[in-house]
Structure 1
């Protein structure tokens, strides 16, 4: 039960952090605006998750730490549903170049940052 409570608290903090960081980016009501905030949040969350897994494997921390921080905080901080919703909106408005850039930056950038975070967490140069 303690892990569930920890995940809930960390999830609350991750959600608030996501909201606040989203406010740092220019707000636009145009469906053709590039979703910079979601891209930043998802990429930084990927880096954090890679780092967390690297640290956990290196320091042999208790399993609950990964659950609370990974599932609770980082899981609520990042958002795959917003990525898909914004991608759908770009495609619906025929913004194919933005759509392709968003998918490439999210996918390739996320993979590269996950690798970098894992290496960083393990204390190895990436």
Structure 2
């Protein structure tokens, strides 16, 4: 059942990732905004989910479907790394450096704020 949960969550996350890429793609942009966007948003959601979702969800299959399946397939570390290498190959060294540093730092910040929001929403949900 866990494999099915991850697979179903993965389908949804992969489709969301695909559509975000399509909607945000700009062939003239030198900065890979679609991947940056999904990784930051995915980091924020995962941070929130680690604090709020895991405390609230009693269904382990749903939890793994959301965390590993949906969020795991929505974010994309391999694409991030590939885009950095391609930027370096094209000699866009400054863009590659900025993409790497901003993605890493803002990703960590997004996780942090997601966890803070999870803590706040968890506290409020617990007082009802």
Query: TM-score, normalization: structure 2?
Result: 0.86
Q: Whose helix fraction is larger, Structure 1's or Structure 2's?
A: 2
State how far apart, in whole Å, the 2-side matches of 1:9 and 1:59 are: 21
Q: Deviations over 1:61-94 (max 9, x none)?
A: 3433331101000001111110011000001111
Shift of the alpha carbon at 1:27? 3.2
| Unmatched tracts of structure 1, length 5 or more | none
Aligned counterpart, 2:12: 13
RMSD across aligned positions (CA):
1.7
> Aligned residue pairs: how many?
121
Asked if residue 110 in structure 1 is aligned to residue 107 in structure 2, the reply is yes
Q: Which SS does the other structure have where 2:24 is aligned?
A: coil
Distance 2:21 2:93 in 1: 24
1:47 corresponds in structure 2 to: 44
User: How far 1:46 sits from its partner (Å)?
Assistant: 0.5
**Structure 2 regions of 5+ residues with no counterpart?**
122-128
Q: Per the alignment, do residues 97 and 23 of structure 1 end up closer, same or farther by CA in structure 2, a change over 3 Å counting?
A: same
2:57–2:63: 8 Å Cα contact kept in structure 1?
Answer: no
Instruction: Give the Cα separation in 2 of the matches to 1:37 and 1:60.
Output: 30
Query: d(CA) in 1 for partners of 2:75 and 2:53?
Result: 20
Q: Quick check: 2:54–2:63 contact (8 Å CA) kept in 1?
A: no
Give the Cα separation in 2 of the matches to 1:63 and 1:6.
9
Distance 2:62 2:102 in 1: 29
Mapping of 1:5-84 within 5 angstroms? 5-28=4-27, 33-59=30-56, 61-84=58-81
